[in-house]
Amino acid sequence: MISQLRPALVMLGAFTVLLGLGYPLAMTGIAQVTMPRQAGGSLVERDGAIVGSVLIGQAFTRPEYLHSRPSATDPAYNAGSSTGSNLGPSSAALLAQVRERAAAQGPGPVPSEMATASASGLDPHITLDAALRQVDRIAAARGVPPAAVEDAIRGATTGPAFGLLGEPIVNVLAANLALDAQEG
Amino acid sequence: MAGDLTFFALFLAGLTLMGAILGPWMARVFTGRVSFLAPVEHALYRAAGISPVGQRWTAYATAVLVFNAAGFVLLYLILRLQGILPFNPQGFGAMESSQAFNTAISFVTNTNWQSYGGETTLSHFSQMAGLTVQNFLSAGTGIAVAVAVVRGLAARSAADIGNFWVDLTRTVLYLLLPGAIIIALLMVWQGVPQTLAANMTATTLEGGQQVIAQGPVASQVAIKMLGTNGGGFFNVNAAHPYENPTALANLIQIYAILVIPAAFPFFFGRMVGDRRQGWAIFAAMSALFVAVLLWAYLAEAAGNPLHASLVEPGTSMEGKETRFGLAQTVLFAVATTVASCGAVNAMHDSFSALGGMIPLLNMLLGEIIYGGVGAGFYGMVLYVVLTVFLAGLMVGRTPEWLGKKIEAREMKLAALTLLVMPLGVLVLASASILTGNAAGSVQDQGPHGLTELVYAYTSGTANNGSAFAGFGANTTWHNTMIGIAMMLGRWGYVIPVLAIAGSLAAKARAPETAGTFPTHGRAFTVLLVVTILIVGALTFLPVLALGPIAEHVSVADGQAF
């Protein structure tokens, strides 16, 4: 037992320096030099101010903006403290939430992601279907033709993953930046 | 649907290919035929006073325990002292003592259960020098033990099963570190941050303030996947868009979880000089993988009957991220629980009743469908020992595996490990209920609440680390008890399995005869699968009936709680 103590301590010390400092700091250096935008969090600037990260969703409540999914963080889209609701499928609380959200966006069944909270509370996307349902509202609020709104949405849309999986999805922040830019 | 199934088939083909390539590489590494970093190795051995010669199983096990104990103490101290250590831009104070105990045990045992929320609790120093280091070393420990077991199986009348320090060093230098560097850079390319900066504040388009947590995320994500650790940088782990920003990043992470576990059967086949032996085990693993994947996929695709009139048909997106969609969410959930990873890209707590049962079942089976790095394979070795024993009983011969007789001592040790999961899951979860520590921690009422509790103790004992995260695990009781479950689930396997390795290494290899039951081919694979299901699943059928199955019938009947 005692004879193994020196190997254990020396190896632990050496690996802590190599793997705990050397490796992450080297990765930080390489990433900051070769891929500074991503390494810094893919932040988006407008007029010199940081307006968010293209990867992190934001809460949108005004009618002229494309709305994101519901979020379980406090407040919604708190990127300093991510969380999902973790409510189970048989939860009465979840059922009440879904009912309320669906009623607010109805009539009729709404896309599931618009009535449910995401895992992170920071989901930056909604499906194209859910986005197109908001076109008329946005166009009316902005006083622009629906086609212009649809253009902005389609510009922020990416196809099904690997051309195989699921539906096209829209980056909400990117679509809203494009909408604002149209007014320029 | 067709697209999703095509994707699953391509995924499995890709995994098989990667395993078949990496397995032989591991054989070269662990037989000393790869040596381009020999100067580094030898410098380390010299400094540590290690003579790189074979150890008996007792010495090997002692080295594992002493090294893990030292790692525990260091990590505990880092977590308790992070307030005065560097790289702490958010100014976080010490972690509370029972939580620090839980977290330190958790990372040393390769569980990586998150009783804490990363971005609200831990300094960059704790994430790097504390957690990232144990991500490597706990994975390295598991791999080293499995390598020693394989060596024991391959040896003929040998006294030793290799040297722990050498196996650990070679694992880190030739397997984990190169892999982590490649994956970390791929992750940054896809958008995972890698910075020492503090949190950013953005002014949103609607004029609000959004604080965005930052950190050296990519370097930790890379090894948390490759080492099947699973402890996330952020509270929501790989569901966080910074930890897992794209569909491609998600796919790379799933492969990173499973590539080393899938390589182990091929490594084993090489080492014992009969590749069919490895293929038989790989086939059993893959058959079970396909079964649990399709089950989880169909359960999730069905959606929530309670919400049927409110939302469009299809999967419930509660606790799921849009960029992953159904197929990549389910594949991730299955991969992370068949291995001992425990990273999540969706909240398993919000899965459908039967969909959420699959991650639980995967862990209860002992995480042997590919399994954790190393841990999955030595877990599978135990099932193989059981299978040849049962086969031996059926034909009335002394069971043999690879020409080695499986005798009373090995069977006793293997049977001992069968008690670990029931002890950690059923006994400790029952104790929580009886002492009144369960009711306050479960979030949901009804059968789902029981599932939350059972999932927590299963995840701890299986060293997985994923959670039904509505469960409030950060209490002194659960931090302590789940900590004990994690220790039980780690060393309760490591020590007996090393003992089996030592005793098999010492045996001579008897020549194959006409009466030998072959441990390759279809008959053996089927028998192995059946043994896993009978031994692994039956113990837990009652509790599954009270939890997810009861919830499923309730929901189907329109009952909410």
List pLDDT tens digits, range A2-18: 788 999 999 999 999 99
Alpha helices in B217-324 (DSSP H): 217-226, 247-271, 275-301
Q: Which residue of A has its CA nearest to B328?
A: A165
Query: How do residues B296-349 score in pLDDT, each as one tens digit?
Result: 999 999 999 999 999 999 999 999 999 999 999 999 999 999 999 999 999 999
Please tell me the distance in Å from A147's CA to the nearest CA on chain B.
22
Residues 207-226 in B contacting A (C-alpha not used; CB under 8 Å): 208, 210-214, 216, 218-220
Instruction: Give the residue from A9, A15, A43, A171 with the most B CB atoms within 10 Å of its CB, the best one to mutate.
Output: A15
Instruction: Give the residue from A2, A11, A61, A167 with the most B CB atoms within 10 Å of its CB, the best one to mutate.
Output: A11
Q: Which residue of A has its CA nearest to B165?
A: A7
pLDDT band at residue B537 using 50, 70 and 90 as cut-offs: confident
Give the angle subtended at the CA of A66 by the CAs of A64 and A67, to the nearest 5°.
110
Report residue B468 as tokens.
Answer: 């039904």
Q: Which residue from B212, B448, B551 is facing A79, i.e. has the nearest CB?
A: B212
**Beta-carbon separation of B205 and A79 below 8 A:** no
Q: Which residue of B has its CA nearest to A37?
A: B191
The predicted model gives B435-441 an average pLDDT of 92
Report residue B52 as tokens.
Answer: 């790189």
CB A124 within 8 A of CB B288: no
DSSP B159: S
* B526 Cβ contact partners less than 8 Å away, ≥ 6 residues apart: none
Query: How do residues B33-70 score in pLDDT, each as one tens digit?
Result: 999 999 999 999 999 999 999 999 999 999 999 999 99
Give the angle subtended at the CA of A179 by the CAs of A175 and A180, to the nearest 5°.
120
The answer to whether B435 contacts chain A (CB < 8 Å) is no
* B98 Cβ contact partners less than 8 Å away, ≥ 6 residues apart: B476, B479, B480
Using alpha carbons, select from A42, A174, A70, A57 the residue that is nearest to residue B210. Answer: A57
Average pLDDT over chain B reads 94
The predicted model gives A26-50 an average pLDDT of 95
pLDDT at B117 over 80: no
DSSP A121: S
Give the angle subtended at the CA of B101 by the CAs of B98 and B107, to the nearest 5°.
140
The predicted model gives B356-370 an average pLDDT of 94
What residues pair up with A126 in beta bridges, in sequence order?
A: A170
Number of CB pairs < 8 Å for A and B?
Answer: 385
Cβ-Cβ contacts under 8 Å, B321 against chain A = 118-120, 123, 125
pLDDT band at residue B120 using 50, 70 and 90 as cut-offs: confident
**Beta-carbon separation of B205 and A83 below 8 A:** no
**Beta-carbon separation of A118 and B205 below 8 A:** no
Q: Which residue from B303, B315, B323 is facing A125, i.e. has the nearest CB?
A: B323
Asked if the bond preceding B241 is cis, omega within 30° of 0, the reply is no
Check residue A184 and give its pLDDT: 63
Q: Is B377 exposed, middle or buried (0-12, 13-18, 19+ CB in 10 A)?
A: buried
Using alpha carbons, select from B99, B87, B170 the residue that is nearest to residue B136. Answer: B170
CA gap B479, B464 in Å, rounded = 15
**Tally of residues, chain B:** 561
* B17 Cβ contact partners less than 8 Å away, ≥ 6 residues apart: none
3-state secondary structure B28-73: HHHCCCCCCCHHHHHHHHHHHCCCCCCCCHHHHHHHHHHHHHHHHH
Instruction: Give the residue from B10, B44, B350 with the most A CB atoms within 10 Å of its CB, the best one to mutate.
Output: B350
**Beta-carbon separation of A120 and B239 below 8 A:** yes
CB A171 within 8 A of CB A54: yes
Q: Which residue from A19, A21, A169 is facing B322, i.e. has the nearest CB?
A: A169
Report residue B499 as tokens.
Answer: 């003992």
Q: Which residue of A has its CA nearest to B355?
A: A89
Main-chain dihedrals φ then ψ at residue A52, nearest 5 degrees: 145, -165
CA torsion through residues B503, B505, B508, B510, sign: positive
Instruction: Give the residue from B194, B251, B326 with the most A CB atoms within 10 Å of its CB, the best one to mutate.
Output: B194
**Beta-carbon separation of A90 and B70 below 8 A:** no
Query: How do residues A63-75 score in pLDDT, each as one tens digit?
Result: 999 999 999 999 9
pLDDT at B510 over 90: no
Residues 152-171 in B contacting A (C-alpha not used; CB under 8 Å): 165, 168-169
pLDDT at B416 over 90: yes
What residues pair up with A169 in beta bridges, in sequence order?
A: A127, A158
The answer to whether B52 contacts chain A (CB < 8 Å) is no
**Beta-carbon separation of A12 and B71 below 8 A:** yes
Query: How do residues B177-231 score in pLDDT, each as one tens digit?
Result: 999 999 999 999 999 999 998 888 999 999 999 999 899 999 999 999 999 998 8
DSSP A147: H
Largest CA distance in chain A: 79
Please tell me the distance in Å from B406's CA to the nearest CA on chain A.
30
Q: How far is CA B215 from the centre of its chain?
A: 25
The predicted model gives B148-153 an average pLDDT of 96
Q: Sort strands A169-171 and B404-405 into parallel, antiparallel or unpaired.
A: unpaired
Cβ-Cβ contacts under 8 Å, A32 against chain B = 194-195
Alpha helices in chain A (DSSP H): 5-15, 23-34, 36-39, 92-105, 112-115, 128-132, 135-142, 146-155, 172-183
What residues pair up with A110 in beta bridges, in sequence order?
A: B311
**Beta-carbon separation of B551 and A85 below 8 A:** no
CA torsion through residues B330, B333, B336, B338, sign: negative
The predicted model gives A123-147 an average pLDDT of 97
Q: How far is CA B261 from the centre of its chain?
A: 9
CA gap B63, B495 in Å, rounded = 11
Instruction: Give pairs for B207-210: CB < 8 Å, separation 24+.
Output: B208/A58, B208/A59, B210/A52, B210/A56, B210/A58, B210/A77, B210/A78, B210/A79
**Beta-carbon separation of A50 and B203 below 8 A:** yes
3-state SS assignment for residue B399: coil
Q: What is the DSSP string of B434-447?
A: HTT-STTT--S-TH
Q: Which residue from B192, B206, B350 is facing A88, i.e. has the nearest CB?
A: B350
pLDDT at B485 over 80: yes
Q: Which residue from A24, A56, A167 is facing B219, i.e. has the nearest CB?
A: A24
pLDDT at B147 over 70: yes
pLDDT band at residue B394 using 50, 70 and 90 as cut-offs: confident
CA gap B17, B334 in Å, rounded = 19
pLDDT band at residue B492 using 50, 70 and 90 as cut-offs: very high
**Beta-carbon separation of A122 and B304 below 8 A:** no
CA gap B64, B138 in Å, rounded = 10
The half-sphere exposure of A96 on its side-chain side, counting CA atoms within 13 A, is 4
Kind and range of the H or E run holding A158: strand A157-158
pTM of the model: 0.96
CB B488 within 8 A of CB B460: no
Q: Which residue of B has its CA nearest to A35?
A: B189
**Beta-carbon separation of B168 and A84 below 8 A:** no
Please tell me the distance in Å from B45's CA to the nearest CA on chain A.
8
3-state SS assignment for residue B383: helix
Report residue B462 as tokens.
Answer: 């299986």
CB B43 within 8 A of CB B362: no
CA gap B74, A123 in Å, rounded = 36
Q: Which residue of A has its CA nearest to B469?
A: A86
Check residue B490 and give its pLDDT: 95
Q: Which residue of B has its CA nearest to A100?
A: B310
